[in-house]
Structure 1
Amino acid sequence: MRDDGTEGFWVYIVANRRNGAVYTGHTDNLGRRVHEHAHGLLPGFTRDYGCKTLVWAEWHETRESAFRRERAIKEWRRSWKLRLIEECNPTWRDMLADYVT
């Protein structure tokens, strides 16, 4: 849920460092999901590679739209993903506070 109360879904990318490992996912609760990644609560790639920092996110009104976007990004070349991050977050700072308060 966004701060304005709108229900919907997020597509997001978390990373372990600038130009390091990146993971793309989607969720209906960005704050909870990033917390799970940041504290290693989810087994798999993000815990194994230490992807804890939210470096990019995009809002979608429907689960289907978010799922399609996530799948598309996961098939992209790595360089395209890095460019997507760099366009909105050139310093690779943690952007969670920009989306969730």
Structure 2
Amino acid sequence: MWNHNYYVYITTNPGKTVLYVGVTNDISVRLRQHRENKGTQKSFTGQYYCYNLVYYEHFSHIEHAIEREKEIKKWRREKKNDLIESINPNWIFLNDQVGD
């Protein structure tokens, strides 16, 4: 049986005023890509400097990860904040925890 890893994650900008919700199969590579794009207009995360990880969930099936990403993206900001604070009450940047 294959061991698959998929992640739904939330990043924010240094001032913690903008949130981005995404899905990936390699969270450390994806965070590096977000950081490398900072300040560019070619992506939302680049334009708004959303490269600081504040939340993530692990999934074994891509379908479940995509479903969860879509669910979270529909939420209002307050509900996303509550989700982040349920595991990261101080909004500590978690990039180092995932090898970024």
* CA shift for structure 1 position 81: 0.4
Q: Which residue in 1 is equivalent to 2:68?
A: 69
**Which region of structure 1 is more displaced relative to structure 2, 89-98 or 51-60?**
89-98
Percent sequence identity over aligned pairs:
33
User: Structure 2 length normalisation: TM-score?
Assistant: 0.86
Tell me the distance in 1 between the aligned counterparts of 2:53 and 2:59: 17
Aligned length: 97
- Asked if the contact 1:19–1:82 (Cα under 8 Å) also holds between the matched residues in 2, the reply is no
Tell me the distance in 2 between the aligned counterparts of 1:71 and 1:17: 24
4+ residue stretches of structure 1 with deviation over 4 A?
none
Q: Which residue in 2 is equivalent to 1:93?
A: 92
Tell me the distance in 1 between the aligned counterparts of 2:79 and 2:51: 20
Tell me the distance in 1 between the aligned counterparts of 2:32 and 2:16: 21
Pairing 1:54–2:53 present: yes
Q: Which residue in 1 is equivalent to 2:25?
A: 28
Unmatched segments (≥5 aa) in structure 2: none
User: Structure 1 length normalisation: TM-score?
Assistant: 0.85
Tell me the distance in 1 between the aligned counterparts of 2:4 and 2:15: 31
Q: What amino acid is the match of 1:64?
A: E
Tell me the distance in 2 between the aligned counterparts of 1:14 and 1:86: 13
Tell me the distance in 1 between the aligned counterparts of 2:35 and 2:93: 11
Tell me the distance in 2 between the aligned counterparts of 1:19 and 1:79: 13
Tell me the distance in 2 between the aligned counterparts of 1:33 and 1:19: 19
